[in-house]
Structure 1
């Protein structure tokens, strides 16, 4: 299993306002873009910056959401996406409506970076951060447009972490206060595994899908009104329905892709986007994520996501080490 790359610093792009981002994160989930979108943004941004020859490389990315507005109908328990009306087709008829989930959001992006920038002064760090923010302003974030922001809180920053662990902890405590109010998305594979083990105590055939569905919904259980009192024919036992406790704000999330086919040679599959790269059919992989307030993060490693690939097993995943670092 891959580990979080060691980074020399953090590149912080705070309070980005994004309009019409893709709210459909996978075939089964919606509400916030997938982390694959933010890792893809990181790689696209790195390619954009090659022309500037900046002394830094991107290792990982974290996201904190400060505000969101999913474009759905108001009122009622069941909601639907607000869809745009496309222009008429060439014959004058109504064009087909393709369901597109959109949302507006305000986020902070934190990139783990490494490279020669550590040898430069703070003024140079500020210029590098401005250059990155300028390039990002012309890009798409999960399909959404970046709106201009003049707020002092939206100033980008490049922070060198250093080798002193106590100084790094002090710096991170200061940074996480600046990210309030907001919620950081972390991965909780441990909750999914714990639920699988819990289900198999009574249902040995329970699968990870059963555990995922169980954690993704609100579950109500019958609870004895008075456990110490035995039920009798004249006084039957009273039960009350109570919601099952939830370990925080947990949500189902896509975490990457799993292979459906062998790795095919480049150019063999027609209509592929890239004819110079090997091709593989894949499907989404799912796990459990948790939205957590930044002030509850103990170190920056709990926040950052990174890519993990295993072509032999057919796994292409986004990983986050919140659970393992928390237990350690």
Structure 2
């Protein structure tokens, strides 16, 4: 079975002046299969949003390759590019910033339908009404403006807009991080429901590992532009092996006061290095209690340590020289 999205050695660098280069995404590879969800997680500034936007062609690549159903995303032109934009949509982190405040909800949701000439005016209205119903809003909401809605409602409108042209693949760029905790679970459940109904494939970008667990089939952990661990969601949460992954998981609160009071929390020391001048060798070594001299001289490569479980760490790459 061929992957829907295949990312190979993807790089995205930004020139910063004074001959400096910010390496936001530096040699990232992963695959996502039909109907599945890959969660891309990591702390702020690790490059996960840039990776998602480069995968859809919103950013040009510096190196590597992104294949969508066998076609190179960054080589698409004309009709191929337009067809791609119909099949791949993005749900952005900030719904207020990504939705035009001068347009009514009906026009926001219907914009893609009009661009791709998918329906008549009458059919368009019916599609918008049905989408609003599916995302938990009312038909009268179609005639309102974005400022009249709450954050959770605006994100639902963003989801309806993305679904309006029947996409096959969605990049969910931190779609719940700007929402109240009480609303986050509703949005995640809505995304799962839409995935089951429509057979959608997701790249789910987030920094909240507790929510990622409920929607992802696989999870890739990013640190300073690189993936340091990649495995199934169940395996990651039951058997995290990279020290950075272990630290992230230890920060997730457990809703049991007795367990929470007694469990060990891993506190990382130091700051995240600058992506403009990342350290040689392992980029995590300055914050890792297991770091050795080898970590400072040799960059660890991704190695398979179990079925579908990959990690970039010298604790498991004994043969690196």
Length-normalised TM-score, structure 1: 0.23
- Normalized per residue, the structure richer in strand is 1
| Higher relative contact order (Cα pairs below 8 Å, separated by 6+ residues) | 1
Q: Which has the larger radius of gyration?
A: 1
Length-normalised TM-score, structure 2: 0.24
